[in-house]
Structure 1
Amino acid sequence: MADLTLGAPLPGVVTALADVPDEVFATAMIGPGVAVRPSAADAPAGAAGRLDVVAPCAGTLVKVHPHAVALEAAGGVGVLVHLGIDTVGLGGEGFEVLVADGDAVVAGQTLLRWDTTVALAAGLSVLSPLVVIQGGDEVFTLVEPGTVVAPGDPLLRVTA
């Protein structure tokens, strides 16, 4: 397998996984990665809180939830994009799903639309982990915490 680069799934500020307020993510229990604090999290309610969430790489969608997407990339690398913490409890409110299980996607393709104001109003964290959940020998972070990224900007490199 060649190296795989994973791009930012949404615009925001890169945050260390250890700073995610969820032990499963913070301890890398399900895999290594980083988180993105959506830039719209600072915006007032309304259109500024609505974000397109894009595929971090090409692959096949294994499981699509309103708050999370798991995909399998080349070489069997599993990738999870999780939008916010405890957002499963929103029951899909604030999320618009544009894809389905089994869909083949290309890097940068819009998967979901997320109105972060719904999660914020519920008092939930909008920190969004991007995690390698299977495959690959090593995962390298390509940007420092505090870096502002746009959708598709390289965040992680996975090697075989």
Structure 2
Amino acid sequence: MFSKWKSKKAEKQTEQYIIKVIAPVSGQSVPLSEVPDETFAGGHMGKGIAIEPIEGKLIAPFDGTVAHIVKTSHAVILEHPSGLQLLLHIGIDTVSLKGSAFTSHVATGDIVKAGQTLIEFDLEAIRAAGLRTITPVIVTSSEEFTFEVEEHYGQVTSSKDNILTIGFKATTL
């Protein structure tokens, strides 16, 4: 009698992704271990790379959405359509500048295209304040994904060179 009421279990689907992250700033890309901040260098924020910038312009490394921009405009989190999130953090301890060296061109919720300017920053003002300009690019840790991250080191040009290749699987209903 109840056979027509059989439970329909939601079927989980696993999607595989390989995302190439282009350089968000021009400069020299180095391992996170070279960042003079244990939170980044120790991988506590996630896996990634850092770039010592030679110009003060941060661009979107892929098409996505601005998940969050810090009030002082020194950091932004971008979300890829797959759900992967990337933290772009300009300099070390630059929050202390209270936004004075940064001009944001985006807001939380904005849809961005690869190569679009996100933030402009004054390298000389950051250095004059005695702060480092090295810019970590972090795949933020998530329980939803298991990542394999391949870093590409050396001289990079924003909008052109691949700095990270990220492979992961995401399960959806």
TM range (shorter): 0.7 to 0.9
> Equivalent residues in 2 for 1:1-160 (5 A)?
1-40=16-55, 51-65=56-70, 66-134=73-141, 135-141=145-151, 143-144=152-153, 147-152=154-159, 153-160=161-168
Indicate the percent of aligned positions where both proteins have the same amino acid.
38
Gaps of 5+ in 2: 1-15, 169-173
8 Å CA contact 1:53, 1:112 repeated in 2: yes
Distance in structure 1 (CA, Å) of the matches to 2:96 and 2:44: 21
TM (norm. structure 2) is: 0.81
Decide which structure has the larger Cα Rg and report it.
2
Give the number of the structure whose residues are more often helix, by fraction.
1
Aligned pairs, how many?
Answer: 147
Distance in structure 2 (CA, Å) of the matches to 1:103 and 1:82: 18
> Match of 2:60, as an amino acid?
A
1:88 counterpart SS class: helix
**1:56 Cα offset (Å):** 1.2
8 Å CA contact 1:136, 1:158 repeated in 2: no
**1:39 Cα offset (Å):** 1.7
2:164 counterpart SS class: strand
8 Å CA contact 1:79, 1:132 repeated in 2: yes
Runs of 4+ with deviation above 4 angstroms: none
Distance in structure 2 (CA, Å) of the matches to 1:98 and 1:39: 20
